């Protein structure tokens, strides 16, 4: 594979840009991949190598790279003029289209990134409940802000008891007080949620949860779990906030809240909203959302780039296409087929590996432990994952760089792309089966 240009760019960039990238998640050894262009299911790097993309903007690019309708809508806005810092009809149209799909929300406000949407949800929950603390699930990621970048991919040697996880900072430089204030609960354990939240009920404003834990692969809620949390939080006066940033517009047209039939008090969205453009949203019940309107007793909701027109044009064009239910139905159907084929290969070859997935998201776990929360997901064998990733890399397929992340395909991916993925995965399962055979 040619890497001369990537190496040159890294050498040039790393003196001015830490790690040569603008997000640590893209830092890689010996150098990050520097992309030149993308279309449909493919990206091409600066050396001209063609890659089948199974990262898809960390799940954001749901309709494929360079989707024509989205591109046209954005070009039109650029021609009309940005009107930065002003409202326009587009911001109402995008809100109407969003609420047409997300029927369990009554109002919506747009911002730019998922982290900002999470920050808004936290402020609003405090205003509404008069309480200050946030509860979250161990292992889930909701952005890099102090209150929520807690126990995100935590080091389990420091994380305490599984049923009463210790709140650990997700990185250096966070406010220690904020981190300690955050209440952490394990996923898929209603009893632990009940025990922990009951103790802190007078101080917890909101439970922030990814209804399916996609940031660490794909961990579905067990039957009754989300319903149980809905009842529990209502009884305790805690707001239930769904982070739909990865589930959004991939599991169903109305998000995970529609797929599982649960109405959260608030929800936050981004990624799938605008097919790769930076748009995020806070949505929810009218009487709660109204508390972000101007007013000294209300939560702040401001931002120069909130409702940024190119982003909203992309959002409207994306959501209009997603309204056609066949897109998500197909993503789910094809994910299911991928999961079944991978898992039947693993079973036939007696390899401890299982693919989880849905809505075009997927991730293999190399473990024989049933994956139901962060700790069981963390039993995945890192070496086996790296072998798998490298095999796909050799076949010019991009997948998530680490085992506790997630890969994704889009509606633009062809059947042959998915077959290629399965073939490459099978090669690795065969290698792993041989290694197991030698070891035993």
Ligand X SMILES: Cc1ncc(COP(=O)(O)O)c(C=O)c1O
For ligand X, which is the closer residue by CB, 311 or 364? 311
Q: φ, ψ for residue 283 (rounded to 5)?
A: -135, 160
Strands of the sheet with 397-398, listed across from one edge: 35-39, 42-45, 50-53, 397-398
For ligand X, which is the closer residue by CB, 58 or 91? 58
Residue 397 is given by DSSP the state: E
Segment near ligand X (CB under 6 A), from 168-176, 242-250, 373-381, 382-390?
242-250
Rule CB under 6 A: choose which of 183, 241, 245, 432 binds ligand X.
245
For ligand X, which is the closer residue by CB, 256 or 384? 256
- Which stretch of DSSP H or E encloses residue 45? strand 42-45
For ligand X, which is the closer residue by CB, 77 or 281? 281
* Least Cβ distance, residue 255 to ligand X (angstroms): 12
Residue 117 to residue 34: CA distance in whole angstroms:
29
Pick out residues in 40-69 that bind ligand X (CB under 6 A).
58
* Least Cβ distance, residue 115 to ligand X (angstroms): 3
Rule CB under 6 A: choose which of 20, 32, 114, 358 binds ligand X.
114
Task: Draw the binding track, 200-239, toward ligand X (x: CB under 6 A; -: no contact).
Answer: ----------x----x------------------------
Strands of the sheet with 354-358, listed across from one edge: 354-358, 361-365, 407-408
For ligand X, which is the closer residue by CB, 9 or 105? 105
Residue 288 to residue 440: CA distance in whole angstroms:
59
Contact 412, 42 (CB under 8 A): no
* Least Cβ distance, residue 58 to ligand X (angstroms): 6
* Least Cβ distance, residue 295 to ligand X (angstroms): 27
* Least Cβ distance, residue 139 to ligand X (angstroms): 11
Rule CB under 6 A: choose which of 188, 270, 275, 306 binds ligand X.
270
Q: Where do the H-state alpha helices sit in 109-252?
A: 114-129, 176-181, 190-199, 225-236
For ligand X, which is the closer residue by CB, 61 or 417? 61
For ligand X, which is the closer residue by CB, 245 or 327? 245
* Least Cβ distance, residue 408 to ligand X (angstroms): 11
* Least Cβ distance, residue 154 to ligand X (angstroms): 16
- Which stretch of DSSP H or E encloses residue 137? strand 133-137
How many chain residues bind ligand X (CB under 6 A)? 14
For ligand X, which is the closer residue by CB, 242 or 384? 242
**CB-based closest residue to ligand X:** 114
For ligand X, which is the closer residue by CB, 210 or 265? 210
Rule CB under 6 A: choose which of 61, 246, 251, 378 binds ligand X.
246
Q: What CA dihedral angle connects 195, 199, 201 and 206, to 10 degrees?
A: -60
Helix axes of 309-322 and 68-80: crossing angle, nearest 10 degrees = 150
Contact 135, 207 (CB under 8 A): yes
Is residue 143 part of the contact set for ligand X (CB under 6 A)?
yes
Q: Which residues pair with 110 in a beta bridge?
A: 281
Is residue 189 part of the contact set for ligand X (CB under 6 A)?
no
Q: Give the CA distances from residue 370 to residues 6, 183, 239, 376, in Å, rounded to whole numbers and listed in that order.
A: 39, 25, 30, 7
For ligand X, which is the closer residue by CB, 33 or 120? 120
Pick out residues in 158-177 that bind ligand X (CB under 6 A).
none
Is residue 115 part of the contact set for ligand X (CB under 6 A)?
yes
Residue 290 to residue 301: CA distance in whole angstroms:
11
Sequence-distant (≥ 6) Cβ neighbours of residue 333 within 8 angstroms: none
Segment near ligand X (CB under 6 A), from 3-11, 139-147, 161-169, 216-224?
139-147
317-348 burial by CB neighbour count: b if 16+ within 10 A, else e? Answer: bbbbbbeeeebbeebbebbeebbebbeebbee
Residue 423 to residue 345: CA distance in whole angstroms:
10
Is residue 113 part of the contact set for ligand X (CB under 6 A)?
yes
Q: Which residues pair with 354 in a beta bridge?
A: 365
Segment near ligand X (CB under 6 A), from 72-80, 83-91, 111-119, 171-179?
111-119
Q: Which pair of tokens denotes residue 397?
A: 């397929």
Helix axes of 382-394 and 415-439: crossing angle, nearest 10 degrees = 140
For ligand X, which is the closer residue by CB, 42 or 144? 144
Q: For binding to ligand X (CB under 6 A), which residues are involved?
A: 58, 113-115, 118, 141-143, 210, 215, 243, 245-246, 270
């Amino acid at each position: 594979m040619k890497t001369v240009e990537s190496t040159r760019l890294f050498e040039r960039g790393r003196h001015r840009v830490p790690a040569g990238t603008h997000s640590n998640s893209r830092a890689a050894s010996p150098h990050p991949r520097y992309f030149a262009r993308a279309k449909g299911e493919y990206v091409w790097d600066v050396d001209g190598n063609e890659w089948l993309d199974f990262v898809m903007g960390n799940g954001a690019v749901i309709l494929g790279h360079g989707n024509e309708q989205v591109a046209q809508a954005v070009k039109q806005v650029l021609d009309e003029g940005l009107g930065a810092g002003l409202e326009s009809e587009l911001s109402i149209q995008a809100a109407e289209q969003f609420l047409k799909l997300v029927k369990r929300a009554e109002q919506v406000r747009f911002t730019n990134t998922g982290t900002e949407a999470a920050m808004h949800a936290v402020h609003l929950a405090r205003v509404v409940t008069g309480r200050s603390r946030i509860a979250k699930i161990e292992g889930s990621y909701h952005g890099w802000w102090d209150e929520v970048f807690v126990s995100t991919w935590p080091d389990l040697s420091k994380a305490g008891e599984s049923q009463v996880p210790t709140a650990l900072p997700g990185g250096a430089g966070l406010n220690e007080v904020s981190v300690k204030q955050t209440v952490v609960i394990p996923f898929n354990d209603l009893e632990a949620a009940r025990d922990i939240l009951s103790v802190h009920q007078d101080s917890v404003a909101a439970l922030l949860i990814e209804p399916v834990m996609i940031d660490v692969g794909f961990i579905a809620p067990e039957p009754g779990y989300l319903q149980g949390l809905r009842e529990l939080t209502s009884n305790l006066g805690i707001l239930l906030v769904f982070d739909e940033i990865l589930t959004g517009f991939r599991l169903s047209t109305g998000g995970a809240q529609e797929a599982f039939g649960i109405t959260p008090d608030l929800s936050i969205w981004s990624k799938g909203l605008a097919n790769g453009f930076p748009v995020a949203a806070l949505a929810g019940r009218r009487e709660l959302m109204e508390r972000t309107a101007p007013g000294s007793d209300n939560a702040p909701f401001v931002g120069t780039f909130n409702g940024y027109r190119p982003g909203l044009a992309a959002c409207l064009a994306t959501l209009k296409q997603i309204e056609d239910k066949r897109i998500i139905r197909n993503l789910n159907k094809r994910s299911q087929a991928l999961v079944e084929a991978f898992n039947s290969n693993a079973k036939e070859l007696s390899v401890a590996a299982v693919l989880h997935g849905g809505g075009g998201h997927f991730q293999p776990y190399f473990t024989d432990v049933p994956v139901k929360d962060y700790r069981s997901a963390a039993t995945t064998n890192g070496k086996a994952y790296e072998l798998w990733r490298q095999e796909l890399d050799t076949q010019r397929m991009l997948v998530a760089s680490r085992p506790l992340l997630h890969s994704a395909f889009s509606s633009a991916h062809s059947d042959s792309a998915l077959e290629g993925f399965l073939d490459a995965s099978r090669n690795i399962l065969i290698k792993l089966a041989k290694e197991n055979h030698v070891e035993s």
